């Protein structure tokens, strides 16, 4: 399939005016109401509670997901990192916890714990391409063993009453495309929805996502299908909906660089236009997010601020000087001070203002 900017798929409203394919206003996954039909993808090192609430507050995102979390780690009493990954606040509902692992009983016990913590959904990660995860037969490593996936499906489904979903890739490589078969197996095992990142494990994050695989899954199953891959703009999201028939779209890597993407998708589906973030919007966004990180008292707040600085300041006039000042700062408070300095003199050459 061709992306929107190559092959737009317009539609007409009742007056005959050409409009984009509209985003569904809501989606039901096993009785959990998600409105609008957009999902923040689980991303390691990104979708912690601060980023999730930050996205939710900007509007337009129907479902948020945790970072992918080791089922083994969840069950180990001393694994504080896993417990931190599963920390959330009441204003994050609806929220899904994503787990990875290869042992059906461990996955089932971890899913029970997730349900007990109050999550609305639990999701199985079959998409992570990282070598350290794959070598343990987790993430996309399991795509080479469908019977093993089936055992996990059955064990987790019988262990919890909340909706159980799965996010997976199309297959291990182009010679091993299993997405349709896997989606059918998920439906047969009682899962509530499936999400496809339309790349293979071998691709990693390179090349183009092949949306035709999303369409093939949608044709094969009756449970909701969530499409993921190469949604960089609202036009892309509406094109995926039009070309694949998917029930919702999932946004991953675009969200840190354009956290307004969910709100823009909702606006575009309704009106054919959407608001572009102004420079002042972006400045305020950076300051708000960094302040949230400090208030949360995360042990890695400084690292998070430096990590997100490259995304958040992309395209901002003077952004390179701000990034340099942030990277050289020695504490979260010092970073926030550099940001405040930047905001106070946005119209001046900021390198001169900061003395860098």
Name the one residue in this structure whose structure tokens are 């061709």: 2
Token digits for 119?
Answer: 């999550």
φ, ψ of residue 225 to 5 degrees: the values are -120, 125
Name which of 32, 58, 52 is nearest 266 in CA terms.
58
Count of alpha carbons within 13 angstroms of residue 224, beta-carbon side? 26
Neighbours of 35 (CB within 10 A): 14
Point out which residues pair with 225 in neighbouring strands: 194
Neighbours of 278 (CB within 10 A): 9
Helix spans in 297-347 (H): 301-312, 319-328, 332-344
Residues in CB range of 230: below 8 A, 6 or more apart: 3, 198, 208, 209, 211, 236
Name which of 185, 268, 183 is nearest 234 in CA terms.
268
What CA–CA distance (Å, rounded) separates 136 from 337? 43
Sign of CA dihedral 131, 136, 139, 141: positive
Active-site residue among 128, 189, 238, 246?
128
What CA–CA distance (Å, rounded) separates 331 from 337? 10
Question: How long, in residues, is the chain?
Answer: 356
What CA–CA distance (Å, rounded) separates 21 from 243? 9
Give, to the nearest 10 degrees, the angle between helix 261-271 and helix 234-244: 60
203, containing H or E segment: none
What CA–CA distance (Å, rounded) separates 128 from 134? 8
Residue 136 annotated among the catalytic residues of the structure: no
What CA–CA distance (Å, rounded) separates 81 from 84? 5
Annotated catalytic sites, by residue? 128
């Amino acid at each position: 399939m061709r992306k929107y900017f190559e092959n737009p798929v317009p539609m007409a409203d009742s007056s005959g005016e050409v409009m984009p394919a509209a985003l569904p206003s809501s989606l039901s996954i096993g009785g959990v109401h998600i409105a609008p039909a957009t999902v923040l993808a689980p991303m390691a090192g990104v979708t912690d509670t601060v980023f999730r609430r930050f996205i939710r507050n900007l509007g337009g995102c129907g479902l948020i997901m945790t970072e992918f979390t080791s089922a083994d780690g969840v069950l180990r009493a001393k694994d504080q990192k896993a417990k931190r990954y599963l920390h959330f606040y009441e204003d994050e509902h609806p929220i899904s916890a994503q787990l990875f692992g290869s042992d059906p009983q461990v996955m089932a016990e971890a899913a029970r714990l997730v349900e007990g913590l109050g999550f609305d959904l639990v999701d199985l990660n079959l998409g992570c391409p990282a070598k350290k995860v794959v070598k343990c037969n987790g993430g996309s490593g399991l795509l080479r063993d469908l019977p093993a996936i089936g055992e996990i499906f059955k064990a987790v489904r019988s262990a919890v009453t909340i909706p159980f979903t799965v996010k997976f890739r199309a297959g291990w490589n182009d010679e091993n495309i299993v997405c349709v078969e896997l989606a059918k197996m998920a439906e047969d095992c009682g899962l509530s929805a499936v999400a496809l990142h339309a790349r293979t494990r071998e691709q990693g994050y390179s090349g183009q996502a092949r949306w035709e695989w999303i369409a093939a899954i949608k044709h094969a199953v009756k449970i909701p299908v969530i499409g993921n891959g190469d949604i960089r703009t609202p036009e892309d999201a509406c094109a995926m909906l039009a070309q694949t028939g998917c029930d919702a779209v999932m946004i991953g890597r675009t969200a840190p660089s354009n956290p307004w993407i969910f709100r823009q998708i909702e606006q575009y589906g309704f009106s054919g236009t959407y608001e572009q973030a102004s420079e002042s919007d972006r400045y305020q966004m950076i300051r708000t997010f960094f302040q949230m990180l400090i208030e949360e008292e995360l042990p890695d707040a400084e690292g998070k601020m430096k990590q997100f600085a490259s995304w958040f300041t992309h395209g901002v006039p003077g952004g390179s000087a701000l990034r340099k000042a942030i990277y050289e700062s020695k504490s979260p408070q010092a970073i926030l001070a550099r940001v405040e300095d930047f905001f106070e003199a946005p119209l001046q050459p900021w390198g001169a203002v900061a003395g860098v």
